[in-house]
């Protein structure tokens, strides 16, 4: 028997966030002022950044543009859409899922390296837990969102503070295993419609 067509995994980065705008501004200031400005700009970053930033108006339009593009290439109902639980990813995934006529499943292991965290302690350098959406808050955004894989109590990352590099590697391994899981392919095949291969869309982050 011929081999089945390979599953296509489309990784979509979230639209522009408020933190992206702030970071770009600070990087430009550092380029203009030199390395002596590093600590001043670092302090400003931690005082003005958001633990879980929203999309900017530009980011909202970027999400809509990606949604239109995917809808023109994929059959209606022809993909399984998943996303990070971070605000900017959820709000990028929503128009994509709507355009494709499918639901959107939030994956607890898909998020930016470091997770959601607050300010570092002045003495220990340990980052305080940040504040993001809870599963209930994510579910309330739209009926097509499935946040059932997230913890039902508290914030989705359990208020753990900043993720370590080892934790990030372990999480990446779990995501890779999930992608290779035959059950993931089976769910994607159920949404194939007239397409020649199953498609999984994951709205995630740059790192």
Straight-line distance from the first to the last Cα atom of the chain, in angstroms, rounded to the nearest whole number: 39
pLDDT of 195 > 70? The answer is no
pLDDT of 194 > 60? The answer is no
What does the pLDDT average to over 26-54?
89
pLDDT of 94 > 90? The answer is yes
Separation between Cα atoms, residue 74 and residue 51, nearest integer Å: 34
Strands across the sheet containing 104-106: 8-13, 199-204, 80-83, 104-106, 145-146
47-56, 77-86, 94-103, 153-162: least confident range: 153-162
Structure tokens belonging to residue 42? 């670092």
pLDDT interval class at 168 (50, 70, 90)? very high
Separation between Cα atoms, residue 36 and residue 34, nearest integer Å: 6
Mean model confidence pLDDT for the chain: 90
76-85, 113-122, 192-201: least confident range: 192-201
More confident residue, 91 or 133: 91
Is the distance from CB of 108 to CB of 147 less than 8 angstroms? Answer: no
Q: CB-side exposure of 101: number of CA atoms within 13 Å?
A: 10
Confidence (pTM): 0.90
What does the pLDDT average to over 97-126?
93
Q: Write down the residue that tokens 């959601």 correspond to.
A: 116
- Listing DSSP states for 1-25 in one string gives -PPPPPPEEEEEE---BHHHHHHHH
pLDDT interval class at 33 (50, 70, 90)? confident
pLDDT interval class at 42 (50, 70, 90)? confident
What does the pLDDT average to over 111-134?
90
pLDDT of 17 > 80? The answer is yes
The residues, ordered by sequence, that sit 6+ positions from 97 with a Cβ below 8 Å of its Cβ are 81, 103, 104, 144
Q: What is the pLDDT of residue 36?
A: 76
């Amino acid at each position: 028997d011929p081999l089945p067509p390979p599953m296509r995994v489309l990784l979509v980065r979230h639209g522009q966030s408020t933190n992206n705008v702030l970071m770009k501004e600070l990087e430009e200031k550092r380029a203009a002022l030199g390395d002596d400005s590093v600590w001043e700009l670092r302090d400003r970053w931690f005082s003005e950044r958001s633990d879980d930033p929203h999309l900017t108006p530009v980011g909202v339009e970027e999400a809509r543009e990606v949604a239109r593009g995917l809808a023109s290439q994929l059959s209606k109902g022809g993909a399984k859409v998943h996303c990070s639980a971070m605000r900017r990813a959820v709000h990028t995934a929503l128009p994509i899922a709507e355009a494709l006529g499918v639901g959107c499943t939030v994956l607890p292991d898909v998020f930016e390296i470091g997770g959601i965290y607050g300010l570092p302690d002045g003495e220990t350098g340990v980052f305080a837990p940040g504040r993001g959406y809870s599963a209930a808050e994510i579910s309330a955004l739209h009926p097509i969102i499935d946040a059932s894989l997230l913890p039902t109590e508290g914030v989705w990352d359990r208020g753990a503070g900043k993720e370590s590099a080892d934790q990030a590697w372990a999480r990446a391994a779990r995501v890779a295993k999930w992608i290779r899981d035959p059950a993931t392919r089976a769910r994607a095949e159920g949404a194939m419609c007239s397409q020649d291969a199953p498609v999984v869309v994951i709205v995630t982050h740059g790192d």
